[in-house]
Amino acid sequence: MGKRIVVALGGNALGDNLTEQMAASRETAKVIADLIIEGDEVIVTHGNGPQVGMIKNAMDALSAADPKYPLIPLSVCVAMSQSYIGYDLQNALREELITRQYPRDVASIITQTIVDKDDPSFEHPTKPIGRFKTKEEAARLTAEKGYTMIEDAGRGWRRAVASPKPLKIVEIGTIKALVDAGKVVICCGGGGIPVVQESHNHLHGAKAVIDKDYGSEVLAEELNADYLVILTAVEKVAVNFNRPDQRFLDSMTVMEAEQYCDEGQFAPGSMLPKVRAGIKFVRSQKGRRALITLLDKAKEGLAGETGTLITE
């Protein structure tokens, strides 16, 4: 039997606007199709940082222009981004599989993720969303709108929102049923729509965005996956990044990975959540593995030819 793999797509797999996203989805579909044709069960998750920021800005502009349209909560914008991205991904993947004479049903699931209403992140926003801004633009947005703006990995300034830790996937039963039936599922976009459990039967959207890597890890645990594969913009994880003694890693044990995290080797808004998610997944059950690699190196990474593998 093939492996059950949760594949978490980074922002580089999606582009920053509609035209880029459609083109990127077609290229991403080729990578995912490679894994499916190998006989693996593949569940796809994805980020939504640029998209949810774009949607929120558009909805805010509409409300400002016409008062009859109320402000749209951030949680609803996350839901919109799941559909917007899932639509392109599922069509591109369906088309790619048919082209290769390996047709499969592909479906996107609007996914909610339960978070703790008392999560400390609500008081300290750290998750970047939306497009990059200059330092001057960031200062203006802080002054005019009260946004928390942070520098994102030296690439510019972005709005920061709360990023609570995911606890449970609400639609896990539906997702598991589809996977068990041999369907290809796209879910947990942007880590899932953040919701808090207000009573035994009522969920309420939270003003937050969940980290895609942490949300994917919870999903992988609940699906009893064999691999968590995090696809990003680099082929391998590096220590001493951008220094003369930079070193790329073929593998890390969870103990080594934790030591590197404690040393501050990984950027908080970039590689750190990927490594932390990998550690948590590998530790969750014996035999589980996590792989971090470049988008177009997924197949080679799973074959042990590249990427950084996190093991017990």
Residues taking part in catalysis:
11-12, 127, 212, 274
3-state SS of the chain? CCCEEEEEECHHHCCCCHHHHHHHHHHHHHHHHHHHHCCCEEEEEECCHHHHHHHHHHHHHHHHHCCCCCCCCHHHHHHHHHHHHHHHHHHHHHHHHHHCCCCCCEEECCCEEEECCCCHHHCCCCEEEEEEECHHHHHHHHHHHCCEEEECCCCCEEEEEECCCEEEECCHHHHHHHHHCCCEEECCHHHCEEEEECCCCCEEECCECCCHHHHHHHHHHHCCCCEEEEEECCCCEEECCCCCCCEEECEEEHHHHHHHHHCCCCCCCCHHHHHHHHHHHHHHCCCCEEEEEEHHHHHHHHCCCCCEEEEC
Instruction: Spell out a b/e string for 201-235, using b for 16 or more CB atoms within 10 Å of the CB, else e.
Output: eebebbebbbbbbbbbbbbbbbbebbbbbbbbebb
